[in-house]
Structure 1
Amino acid sequence: MGNLAFGSDRLLGSSPYLEEIRRRGPIPRMSGVYITTDYEVCRTILRDRSFGVVTPNHPGLPKPIRWMLAKTDLGLPNLGEPPSMLVTDPPDHTRYRRTVGQAFGPKAIATLEQRIAEVADDLIDRLESKPRPDLISDFSAQMPVTIIAEMLGLPADMHSTLLKWGDSGAPLLERGLDWSTYRDAIEDLVEVKEYFDRHLDGLGDEPGNDVLSMLVTAGDMTRREQVANAALLLDAGFLTTINMLGNGIALLAGNPDQLEQLAAQPWLWRNAVEEILRYDGPVRMTGRVANCDVDLDHQRIPSGSLVLLSLAGANHDPAVFPDPHRFDVTRDNAAEHLSFGSGIHGCLGSRLARLEGSIALPALFDRYPNLRLDGPPIPHPLRNLHAYRSMPVELGVGRAAS
Structure 2
Amino acid sequence: MTRYTDVRRIATDHTTFSNDLFDVTPAGMHDPADTEHQRFVEIASRVLMCADPPVHTRIRSTFRTAFTPDAVERWRGAVLDATTTLLGEFEPGREIDIMPRLAADVPVAVIASILGVPRDVWGNFRSWSFAYASTFDPMVQGERRDEAIRTSLVLFDFLADLAEQRRAHPADDLISTIVQTRTDDGDLLSEAELIAQIALLLVAGNDTTTNLIGNGITLLLDNPEVRAEIAADPALLPKTIEEMLRIDPPLHLTFRLLTKDAIVGEQHLTAGTLVAPCIATANRDPRAFPDPGRFDIHRAENNKHLAFLHGIHFCVGAALARLEGQVVFEELLRHYPDFSAGSEPAVRRTRNAVARGWEKRPVRL
TM-score (norm 2): 0.90
Which of 338, 343, 359 does residue 389 from structure 1 map onto? 359
For each residue in 1:248-302, what CA deviation from the matched residue of structure 2 results, as whole angstroms up to 9, or x when unmatched?
0011012112112223333211111111111111111111112223355576543
CA distance in 2, matches of 1:71, 1:56: 18
What SS class does the counterpart of residue 304 from structure 1 fall into?
Answer: coil
1:185 paired residue number: 148
1:90 paired residue number: 53
The 8 Å contact of residues 251 and 276 in structure 1, kept in 2 or not, is answered as yes
AA paired with 1:75?
A: R
2:238 paired residue number: 270
Go from structure 1 to structure 2 and tell me whether the alpha carbon gap of 1:67 and 1:357 turns closer, same or farther (over 3 Å shift): closer
1:216 paired residue number: 179
The 8 Å contact of residues 93 and 364 in structure 2, kept in 1 or not, is answered as no
Tell me the CA shift for residue 321 of structure 1.
0.6
Go from structure 1 to structure 2 and tell me whether the alpha carbon gap of 1:98 and 1:137 turns closer, same or farther (over 3 Å shift): same
1:378 paired residue number: 347
What count of residue pairs does the alignment treat as equivalent? Answer: 355
Are positions 1:313 and 2:281 aligned together?
Answer: yes
Map residues 1-400 of structure 1 onto 2, 5 A cutoff.
36-50=1-15, 51-53=17-19, 55-58=21-24, 68=30, 70-72=32-34, 73-76=37-40, 81-128=44-91, 131-217=94-180, 218=182, 219-296=187-264, 300-332=268-300, 335-374=303-342, 375-380=344-349, 381-395=351-365
CA distance in 1, matches of 2:353, 2:210: 16
Runs of 5+ consecutive residues of structure 2 not aligned to the other structure? none
CA distance in 2, matches of 1:152, 1:206: 14
Go from structure 1 to structure 2 and tell me whether the alpha carbon gap of 1:75 and 1:335 turns closer, same or farther (over 3 Å shift): farther
Sequence identity percentage: 31
What SS class does the counterpart of residue 133 from structure 1 fall into?
Answer: strand
The 8 Å contact of residues 77 and 231 in structure 1, kept in 2 or not, is answered as no
The 8 Å contact of residues 293 and 300 in structure 1, kept in 2 or not, is answered as yes
Tell me the CA shift for residue 76 of structure 1.
2.3
Tell me the CA shift for residue 221 of structure 1.
1.5
For each residue in 1:108-167, what CA deviation from the matched residue of structure 2 results, as whole angstroms up to 9, or x when unmatched?
112222332232122111122895322122211111111111211111111111112012
Go from structure 1 to structure 2 and tell me whether the alpha carbon gap of 1:94 and 1:258 turns closer, same or farther (over 3 Å shift): same
What SS class does the counterpart of residue 357 from structure 1 fall into?
Answer: helix
Tell me the CA shift for residue 183 of structure 1.
1.1
CA distance in 2, matches of 1:236, 1:223: 20
The 8 Å contact of residues 230 and 237 in structure 2, kept in 1 or not, is answered as yes
AA paired with 1:43?
A: R
Go from structure 1 to structure 2 and tell me whether the alpha carbon gap of 1:130 and 1:143 turns closer, same or farther (over 3 Å shift): farther
TM-score (norm 1): 0.82
1:15 paired residue number: none
RMSD: 2.3
For each residue in 1:47-104, what CA deviation from the matched residue of structure 2 results, as whole angstroms up to 9, or x when unmatched?
112221162433xx68xx865354553232788x420112122222212211123211
Go from structure 1 to structure 2 and tell me whether the alpha carbon gap of 1:284 and 1:54 turns closer, same or farther (over 3 Å shift): farther
For each residue in 1:310-348, what CA deviation from the matched residue of structure 2 results, as whole angstroms up to 9, or x when unmatched?
111110010111111111122225731101111111111
CA distance in 1, matches of 2:157, 2:77: 34
CA distance in 2, matches of 1:334, 1:325: 18
CA distance in 1, matches of 2:93, 2:66: 35
The 8 Å contact of residues 77 and 192 in structure 1, kept in 2 or not, is answered as no
For each residue in 1:342-399, what CA deviation from the matched residue of structure 2 results, as whole angstroms up to 9, or x when unmatched?
111111111100111011112102221211121222222322211112222211xxxx
What SS class does the counterpart of residue 277 from structure 2 fall into?
Answer: strand
CA distance in 1, matches of 2:266, 2:214: 40
